[in-house]
Copies of this chain bind each other. A is one copy, B any other.
Amino acid sequence: MKIDARHLEIIAAIVDNGGLTEGAEALGKSQPSVSRTVAMLEARVGARLFEKNRRPLQPTDLCQALAVEGRKVLAANQTASALVRRYIDGKSGVVRVGGTPFFMDGVISGMIAEFQRAYPEIRIEQSYAYAADLSRQLDSNALDVAICPMDPAALPEKLEFSALLDGRNVIACSPTHPLAGKPSLRLSEIAPYPWIAPPVESPLYQDLRSILAGIGMTDFKVSFSGGTLASILNILARSDALTVLPYSVVFMLRRQQALAALPIRINHPERSLGQMWSPAQSDRPSVRRFRRFIDAEFSNLRTTIMKHEQNSLWRR
């Protein structure tokens, strides 16, 4: 004897609301509809569900037992509805975000922390890669959002990009470095120092090479490579090494007094840090919400940077 789950719901509603009319109302259905459904059910089951000739409908023992199950169905239903509501409202779900390592570690991870304070039910799956890989992953729907430096002119087909911040890089060193704090610097002055090399695929690496080419150095001393931001900060603090980092990373770390930026302008292609995504992949509400959140965070960050530069409290 197969019983329809919606019938169990109806039974529970009638029993719990003390009558057919009230039950129908609680279910958002008309009274005749429920009445007939009950009649059909009783006929199919071959047993009374409600006592005969009682006017506030009185459940039989069997009906009471079925109502117990009906309540479970109703509860599951409500839970499911809530789940869906939160999901389409972008308050639950998953966001797969990938980006270039230093930028993710130095800037984005902090914003993710803020995001998860606001939306604790959204799970973030973070990964690291460079632009080419990120594009591919967006295309194959292995990623929802990529955050990386990008020349908008070189944007791959079928991907969209929204700039968040100027993409320039700076030469960074320890605040205790001999060159730190000098108001101006000639390129040749940096020649003696060892370098912490960014990964070869990184745009930072290209910037490093162009800097050194600019002062005629084709061979340079790499004292360390392969580390993430945390390692690099430790190395820098205890050495005279130099490295190339995104300006924004250095800015974000200003409070920790872990880094100094040398006043040397690095030339590089027209490049912005920004979000990249595939409009072909219809994005989930959680992803939409994440992207908007990141936009807002960077909007704040840009004004913060502007203020700092105006006040000259912190110079590059």
Contact = CB atoms under 8 A, between A and B. Distances in A.
Given A76-B73, A79-B69, A45 B6 contact: no
Given A47-B88, A87-B47, A81 B5 contact: no
Interface residues of A, number: 39
Contact of A3 (B66, B69, B77, B93): B77
B83 A69 contact: yes
Q: In this complex, which of A1, A85, A94, A284 has the most chain B Cβ atoms within 10 angstroms of its Cβ?
A: A1
Interface in A80-118: 80-81, 83-85, 87-88, 92-94
A147 interface: no
A8 interface: yes
Given A5-B6, A77-B8, A66 B45 contact: no
A9 B1 contact: no
B70 A76 contact: yes
Interface-centre pick from A4, A75, A84 (highest chain B CB count, 10 A): A84
B73 A5 contact: yes
A47 B5 contact: no
A45 B75 CA distance: 19
A123 B284 CA distance: 54
A288 to B, nearest CB: 12
B61 A93 contact: yes
Contact of A66 (B5, B69, B83, B93): B83
A65 interface: yes
Question: What 9 A-B pairs are tightest by C-beta distance, nearest first?
Answer: A5-B5, A69-B76, A72-B76, A69-B80, A1-B84, A3-B80, A62-B87, A73-B76, A65-B83
Given A4-B6, A66-B84, A70-B76, 14 more contacts: A1-B84, A6-B6, A8-B80, A46-B88, A47-B87, A47-B88, A61-B93, A61-B94, A62-B87, A62-B92, A69-B77, A69-B83, A70-B80, A72-B72
